[in-house]
Structures are given as structure tokens and as C-alpha cells.
Amino acid sequence: MKLFDFYTKAPKDKKLHFLVGAFIGLVVSVFVLWTASKGGWFIDFLRVKNLQIVLCGVFFGVVAGALKEIVWDSALKKGVPEMADFKYTVYGSLFASVFVWIVSLFLTVVPPYTRIPTEEEYWKQRMEEIHRNDPASFNNNSQDVKNRTDSLLKKLE
């Protein structure tokens, strides 16, 4: 099949670059997808949407490929810097990242847009969680929760 000729007809070195790029793209994309589905710190940092899963995987593939060629091959003289090596690393990360993105569309793990709560909303939710888990720590009145939330927000400023 002509679509995969660039891989099947490539020398072993280029295939390894493609596989390493694919591994990097896969790991990064799955990590971003997983943290986005959990609402973790990484989604707060990136404000991830579905397509950004691909961009994150490719970005790290580009960085890894560039570092390998510039630092390892060029600066340290441990190999021969080649643009083709860099390209195959990027192609691999793109392939794996797009694959993860397509799978995520079918799994619907991450909604197309996830609204990130403001800092005040976040702390209010946290205080309400604490109240649910340990009701004895608060009076059973929402004004007390609000007052404690406000005092915590003031301490953070």
C-alpha cells in the first residue's frame, strides 16, 4: 500500500525514529486525554480541547526529535545529524497522536470543551466537599460555608 511505503521502504534507522516518535506521541496524548477526563492540573494548565491532544503529542515529538538531532548528534558528536531522522520522529508522533485523538472521539472521554472553574468557584466546591465529608466541621448553614470560603480566599491573596 502506497500510504505506508515511507515506513516499509525506510531504512532501519528511520523506522526506529518513527517508532520512538510514535511512542512519545502516544504517551503524551494518552496522558493529556487522561488528565483532561479527570479534570486534573494538566487540563487547568492547558485548557485542553480534543484537538489539542494531537498538538501536545506532536509538540513533544518535535521537541524530542530536535533535541536528539541538535544535542546528541550535533553538539555531542554521538551520531550524524539528519533532517530525515527528525522528520521520521515527527511523523511517528503525529501518527500516534492522531490515532489517540480518533479513538477519543469514539470514547467521548473528553467533551469538546470543558469549562474550567474560576479560582473562587474551585475553592467553593472544595469547601462544599469538605462540608459533605465532614459535616461536623461546619454549622449546617450555607452562610458559614461562604464565610469560611471567603476567609480562605483572603488568605490566598
Please give the model's pTM, rounded to 2 decimal places. 0.61
pLDDT for residue 20 is more than 90: yes
d(CA 25, CA 49): 17
Separation between Cα atoms, residue 123 and residue 153, nearest integer Å: 8
pLDDT at 140 over 60: no
pLDDT at residue 122 tops 90: no
150 contacts 142 by C-beta, under 8 angstroms:
no
The pLDDT-based confidence of 137 (bands split at 50, 70, 90) is low
Give me Rg for the CA atoms of the chain.
23
Q: What distance in Å separates the CA atoms of residue 124 and residue 150, rounded to the nearest whole number?
A: 9
> What is the end-to-end Cα distance of the chain in Å, rounded?
61
Residue 125: what pLDDT? 81
